[in-house]
Structure 1
Amino acid sequence: MSSLRLVKTCQDEIQKVAPGPRWREALYQYLRHPDRHRDAIIHKSQEGFTTVYDGYPKATVHLLILPDQRIKTPQQLDRCA
């Protein structure tokens, strides 16, 4: 996906991902199988990030920005120049 889409605000319209043994696994499903979650993915950047709807929003509009690469510790991050 290369362009931004309109943001949904109705919780009924937002697709929820069934969590695995751990709640964090639900977020990885967006990255592992993006074709299964097209309605939930807002934007996939070429810089390595995916923006998705939060399946359990705490606000009218609640988006999550996920890195495409799995990061286990902050030490794995590179400082931007």
Structure 2
Amino acid sequence: MSSLRLVKTCQDEIQNVAPGARWREALYQYLRHPDRYHDAIIHTSEEGFTTVYDGYPKSTVHLLILPDQRIKTPQQLD
């Protein structure tokens, strides 16, 4: 089982996406190029998900958990 080291969130640490890009494009960047992001911001697990800090946190610690594979319908989940 993998563990996630919690650090203080900071919007400035998260790389900006081109103006006019959709919000999900920013999330895809984490999945496409995880090596570009510092390990305090991103965590990739062997269980098939990636965890990132939200660029616009609504709490002290606000994490987004993204599946590594594209899931189009709930029926695809085990």
Instruction: Find the aligned partners of 1:17 and 1:39 in 2 and give their Cα distance.
Output: 19
Aligned-pair Cα RMSD in Å = 2.9
SS in 2 for 1:30: helix
The runs of at least 4 consecutive aligned structure 1 residues that moved more than 4 Å come to 10-20
Change (3 A) 1:73 1:40: farther
Change (3 A) 1:64 1:74: same
Instruction: Find the aligned partners of 1:19 and 1:52 in 2 and give their Cα distance.
Output: 21
Change (3 A) 1:10 1:30: closer
Instruction: Find the aligned partners of 1:41 and 1:21 in 2 and give their Cα distance.
Output: 21
The alignment covers a number of residue pairs equal to: 78
Segments of 5+ residues of structure 1 without an aligned counterpart are: none
Deviations 1:46-68 (A, max 9, x none): 11011110011111110111111
Segments of 5+ residues of structure 2 without an aligned counterpart are: none
* TM norm structure 1: 0.70
* TM norm structure 2: 0.72
Question: Residue 45 of structure 1: CA displacement?
Answer: 1.1
